Amino acid sequence: MALSFDPDTIQLPKGHFIGGRYVDAKGVLPMRRPSDGITYAEYPVADADLVDQAVSTAKQALKDSGWATRRPRERTNAMHRWADLIEVEGETLARLEAVSSTRLVGQLIQGDVAVTAEQIRFFAEFADKEGSDLVPTANDSLGMIMTEPYGVVGAITPWNFPLSMAGWKIGPALAAGNAIVLKPSEMTPFSTLYLAELAVRAGIPAGLINIVLGDGPTTGNAMTGHPDVAKISFTGSTAAGSAIMANIARTGVKPMTLELGGKSPQIVFADADLTLAANAIANSILVNAGQACVAGSRVIVEQSVAEPLIAAILARMQTIKPGPTWDETSDYSPIISERQIHRIDAIVQAALDAGAECLAGGKFLDRKGYFYAPTLLSNVGQDSPAVMEEIFGPVLTLQTFTDEEEALMVADHPTYGLAAGLFTRDLSRAIRLTRRLQAGTVWVNRYSRSRDHILPTGGYKQSGIGKDLGREAYQANRKSKSVLINL
Ligand code: NAD
């Protein structure tokens, strides 16, 4: 099947998606394709009135459809039909995602599209399996913990994995009986719009999923501060998460889950399978050109095996095939924007000025669009900007250690605690260190999620509050009521 396409021929969904239809929206801000830097569309910015329209539509749709009160299996079945349609329409979704984002069309069908459909099915199954609990009380009374949906949930997603981030948010909210208003990133909104359109085509009542386009300060603020948005689910940078907390504190209290930034370490011991470790490390920084929250960007290796590990990582870095996201033979992504590629380079140059040694990359790739060479920096201290800052690009730093205590000390980051990788054949050590690592996820002898979706994801420290994925994400979309009845 030929997936490559001409980006100029793609029909983009037009406007916000509210109440099951596209609402005409005037584009105001230019959108550029990361693969060639060409301006190809303009995006609209929903103001407070439009956000209000989306929220009231969601509220009314909940009431009219009885989504929260109908037999839960009906929610499950409708969501399964939606997941089936996502797969049928996989090519269209993949192209809409690839045209604006950094995701490669050749990887999207088996990757992001399949994962999104699986996530919808995974969460759909909670609707008729997770319920209220009877609790132990005296014999003359009955105690219950009842759970209920929140009503209208507000979600905000980043640009880096638009489809699967939308699946993380919409799947549990909908299965739990809520309606949702989602604001995708202003840089990558199109696949999310089409995802919502497919939901309506699959029989999910119109108005339960609404997509509003816009930026953080206008649209995002209006959403997080809206009195009828009962809960916020956010994925993005720590800075934006902090601004959202402040806005919620200012406009009224409501629960929120925040999935934020990271600067994750990968610790390699001398007894590890070095080939496996080098591949996992290189892949974690090459996939999406390192533009992943969990990118394992800090390699911390036992001194005695630093040399062979570096050689293996460098060899893997040389195999990349950069190319436009719409060419199915490309295997290395562009950087999302001109601003971001310059930010990556500025941090690398600052690290070099502070004494880092560049073992690979450290420069733009000489081609159209925003491509940055896979970069490996050694001779960096804990205070190097390349070690401290979330770079969100294809940049690895390399530090060494001589014992476990030193490895843990170097791995600990003052701000972030999203994920960590451990490579060792010593099981006791793996468990000992896993217990002490300050991270919401620890991967041992691998550096990637499984596709089971059951393990929750979220951060320690300023990498976030609450979890996406797993049972916890479903539960976070329901509130609980304690009931005590005298018999
Ligand atoms: P970003 O914070 O700039 O934007 C994310 C979203 O928030 C966008 O939709 C943006 O419009 C919106 N936004 C920005 N300011 C806002 C405000 N004040 N109020 C409401 N909404 C606002 O992040 P980004 O550049 O799109 O994505 C990259 C970041 O996301 C990285 O820090 C990365 O680590 C993080 N991320 C985290 C996870 C996770 O699971 N922890 C997953 C993916 C990405």
Task: Give the start-to-end residue ranges of the domains of the chain.
Answer: 7-261, 265-455
Give the DSSP H or E segment for 431.
helix 427-436
Ligand 1 probe mutation, 260, 285, 297, 339, most atoms within 8 A of CB: 260
Judge contact between 31 and 39, C-beta under 8 A: yes
Among 63, 481, 459, CA closest to 235: 459
For residue 287, the 8-state DSSP code is: G
pLDDT at 1: 59
Judge contact between 421 and 447, C-beta under 8 A: yes
**C-alpha of residue 386 to centroid of ligand 1, in Å:** 20
Ligand 1 pocket check for 294: Cβ under 6 Å: no
* Closest ligand 1 atom, residue 468 Cα: 40
Ligand 1 pocket check for 389: Cβ under 6 Å: no
Ligand 1 pocket check for 156: Cβ under 6 Å: yes
Residue whose CA lies nearest to ligand 1 atom number 39: 259
Residue linked to tokens 């979704």: 93
Residues in the chain, pLDDT under 70: 1
**C-alpha of residue 156 to centroid of ligand 1, in Å:** 8
- 138 strand-pairing partners: none
Tokens of 365: 């790739």
Ligand 1 pocket check for 322: Cβ under 6 Å: no
pLDDT at 29: 87
Among 121, 123, 145, CA closest to 133: 145
* Closest ligand 1 atom, residue 168 Cα: 40
> What are the backbone dihedrals phi and psi of residue 182, each rounded to the nearest 5 degrees, phi first?
-120, 135
Does the domain spanning 7-261 belong to CATH 3.40.605.10? yes
Number of neighbouring beta carbons within 10 Å of residue 312: 18
Ligand 1 pocket check for 388: Cβ under 6 Å: no
Ligand 1 probe mutation, 43, 212, 293, most atoms within 8 A of CB: 293
For residue 322, the 8-state DSSP code is: B
**C-alpha of residue 261 to centroid of ligand 1, in Å:** 8
Judge contact between 104 and 193, C-beta under 8 A: no
pLDDT at 51: 98
Ligand 1 pocket check for 185: Cβ under 6 Å: yes
Judge contact between 167 and 116, C-beta under 8 A: yes
CA distance 307 to 329: 32
Judge contact between 61 and 206, C-beta under 8 A: yes
**C-alpha of residue 475 to centroid of ligand 1, in Å:** 23
| Active centre residues (catalytic) | 259, 293
Judge contact between 462 and 260, C-beta under 8 A: yes
Q: At what angle do helices 114-124 and 72-88 cross, to 10 degrees?
A: 170
Q: At what angle do helices 162-175 and 90-100 cross, to 10 degrees?
A: 130
Number of neighbouring beta carbons within 10 Å of residue 311: 13
19-48 pLDDT, tens digit each: 999 997 887 889 999 999 999 999 999 999
Ligand 1 pocket check for 288: Cβ under 6 Å: no
Q: Which CATH number fits domain 265-455: 3.40.50.2300, 2.60.120.10, 3.40.309.10, 2.60.40.2470?
A: 3.40.309.10
pLDDT at 27: 77
Judge contact between 474 and 127, C-beta under 8 A: no
* Closest ligand 1 atom, residue 236 Cα: 30
CA distance 293 to 297: 10
Among 359, 365, 372, CA closest to 399: 359
Angle at 48 between CA 43 and CA 54, to 5 degrees: 80
Ligand 1 probe mutation, 164, 182, 185, 390, most atoms within 8 A of CB: 185
The model carries a pTM of: 0.98
Q: Over the chain, what HEC string results?
A: CCCCCCHHHCCCCCCEEECCEEECCCCCEEEECCCCCCEEEEECCCCHHHHHHHHHHHHHHHHHHCCCCCCHHHHHHHHHHHHHHHHHCHHHHHHHHHHHCCCCHHHHHHHHHHHHHHHHHHHHCCCCCCCCEEECCCCCEEEEEEEEECCEEEEECCCCCHHHHHHHHHHHHHHCCCEEEEECCCCCCHHHHHHHHHHHHCCCCCCCEEECCCCHHHHHHHHHCCCCCCEEEEECCHHHHHHHHHHHHHHCCCCEEEECCCCCEEEECCCCCHHHHHHHHHHHHHHHHHCCCCCCCEEEEEHHHHHHHHHHHHHHHCCCCECCCCCCCCCECCCCCHHHHHHHHHHHHHHHHCCCEEEECCCECCCCCCCECCEEEECCCCCCHHHHCCCCCCEEEEEEECCHHHHHHHHCCCCEECEEEEECCCHHHHHHHHHHCCCCEEEECCCCCCCCCCCCECCEECCEECCECHHHHHHCCEEEEEEEEEC
* Closest ligand 1 atom, residue 237 Cα: 32
